[in-house]
Chain A
């Protein structure tokens, strides 16, 4: 068990800068999720921690020891790969025991550790099989088993569940959560699935184009997104974003179509400032006055319903309502944001305005 510190780490591939200076200190036993769209540099950052990728600038320290120049084998980490990367010519037992044998651990202890891991992951029946004789979910468990028998300083996961079907993914997600609670090993977990991120993480690092857009607990990231990017990436369906302007008194936001939305507290210094206004679909409710929309599409998800509405100025507004649909297409509807549900972002930089 150990802390993992990433200090102003950069990575360039020739002229292309994939990671543009990331800083984060991961606590001992913390579960950090790296979340971001495809190509944003999540894997690259993780592979730098693993030692599979050189570090162009900055420092990475595991357990207080700078590891920039250490080989992967000397970093005391274990990794679960997206394609599992099991040794195809070895049995499940040997796959899990490989790293232990190399470290010269006595046979009896290897047996004990593998058996224990196999028990936790319900792999006992498969120990003599080759990976090719296992299902995708079972292979995934073997990959997890290979990581946990090592009892490393840190776990690294690179989208470990993305090759599983939806049901199995949910199941394994819960299992990973249980494992983490039980083992308490510092973990870095890469995913672009926000549900995985929200449910597993102690903290989430939201990445975009090689920079950290926000670092925070799942609720912080949801409740106070630091930028328009985070606001759009976390939450489903995504947050509505409207162009707006703070009025000359700094008391209300004016949006096209004539709506006036009172600010929680007056901000006289921002009077007249153009603004991007964010409202989550689940924070809009039917009311006597507010945005007037024409319903274009109704998606019934069972537990709740997503309504795609069109504002008079032809912008789209999503509304999420509990329960089964009570409106139909082409109905007219008036919705208004709940108190304190407004997110303000700078119109140019997209950063949150507090």
Chain B
């Protein structure tokens, strides 16, 4: 059976699509095209003249050992953020879905962090982890642990990972909770009558039935980790100390805006874009096969 909506006015469908198409054109296609154009050009120091240089910007970027370090940081950062944000959110959602007292208040509180601007969240984290004024930072130092993320790259990376994950937990939580609530109660009851304890029920029933949600969040969280964590990193560590917390997106900003290397920065954006498109395609190709859409 074919379902088809017919419009009397031939223009109306285009009119209805126009806002979405405009937004996509102005905020996605145009900047992307711009980045691609810039990535094959070299601008002079004053930004007046630019010269077509083929793939010189790309070879330049990819042969820079610093760039590979940044790539490594990005991989560690993205995997850690995705795993942490999803794992914690799933755990919290499972708890919220079970019969506990005050589940409503608990759910509301869990959703709040999502409404926080990255910079505000970062300031919050600073108040907690700053070695001099942060409560947790002071406590760590009082216990004799040499905590200073401004000097220790590893500590800095751990902190931005935690901050970035924390912001994404709320979002994941909402989706996981909705996914859990969509699983019929009687299916879980049937499993418990069939002899499955809570852990086994989770891994053989709940988790497989959640897989569409999990897959969706995997894609969203990865894109988040790659692109949307700029604000958090910028406010917390500015990519430092050294380049310990510099991710690809942060470096794009650093090279393009701060160091004024528009060609190199554009080449990096294009590379970043290709990476994310490739990763998403891989996920759809290989992970989605295992996903059960009920």
Binding site for B on A (CB under 8 A): 50-52, 71-73, 75, 77-79, 81, 83, 85-89, 98-99, 102-103, 132, 146, 150
B209 part of interface (Cβ distance < 8 Å) = yes
Residue tally, chain B, CB below 8 Å to A: 19
Whether the pair B193, A77 counts as a contact (CB closer than 8 A) is yes
Whether the pair B190, A89 counts as a contact (CB closer than 8 A) is no
Nearest CB of chain B from residue A123's CB, rounded to whole Å: 17
What does the 1/0 interface line of B255-294 toward A look like (CB < 8 Å)? Answer: 0000000000000000000000000000000000000101
Closest 4 CB pairs of A and B: A99-B194, A85-B186, A85-B190, A89-B292
Nearest CB of chain B from residue A127's CB, rounded to whole Å: 18
With A83-B186, A85-B184, A89-B209 as known contacts, state yes or no: A50 contacts B294, CB within 8 Å.
Answer: no
**In the bound complex, what is the Cα–Cα distance between A103 and B195 (angstroms)?**
7
**In the bound complex, what is the Cα–Cα distance between A146 and B184 (angstroms)?**
18
Majority-rule SS of B interface residues: helix
**In the bound complex, what is the Cα–Cα distance between A78 and B195 (angstroms)?**
10
With A89-B294, A132-B294 as known contacts, state yes or no: A73 contacts B209, CB within 8 Å.
Answer: no
Residues of the A chain whose Cβ atoms lie less than 8 Å from the Cβ of B187: 85-88
Which B residue's beta carbon lies closest to that of A152?
B193
Which B residue's beta carbon lies closest to that of A98?
B194
Whether the pair A72, B184 counts as a contact (CB closer than 8 A) is no
**In the bound complex, what is the Cα–Cα distance between A38 and B218 (angstroms)?**
45
With A85-B184, A87-B187, A89-B208 as known contacts, state yes or no: A102 contacts B292, CB within 8 Å.
Answer: no
**In the bound complex, what is the Cα–Cα distance between A51 and B204 (angstroms)?**
21
Which B residue's beta carbon lies closest to that of A158?
B186
Q: Can you list 8 A-B pairs, Cβ within 8 angstroms, ordered by A? A: A50-B193, A72-B193, A73-B195, A73-B196, A79-B190, A85-B190, A87-B190, A102-B200
**In the bound complex, what is the Cα–Cα distance between A50 and B192 (angstroms)?**
10
Residues of the A chain whose Cβ atoms lie less than 8 Å from the Cβ of B186: 81, 83, 85
Residues of the A chain whose Cβ atoms lie less than 8 Å from the Cβ of B196: 73, 98, 102
What does the 1/0 interface line of B203-223 toward A look like (CB < 8 Å)? Answer: 011001100000000000000
Residues of the B chain whose Cβ atoms lie less than 8 Å from the Cβ of A102: 194-196, 200
Nearest CB of chain A from residue B287's CB, rounded to whole Å: 15
Nearest CB of chain B from residue A50's CB, rounded to whole Å: 6
Which A residue's beta carbon lies closest to that of B186?
A85
With A73-B195, A83-B184, A89-B209 as known contacts, state yes or no: A52 contacts B189, CB within 8 Å.
Answer: yes
Residues of the B chain whose Cβ atoms lie less than 8 Å from the Cβ of A50: 189, 193
B191 part of interface (Cβ distance < 8 Å) = yes
B19 part of interface (Cβ distance < 8 Å) = no
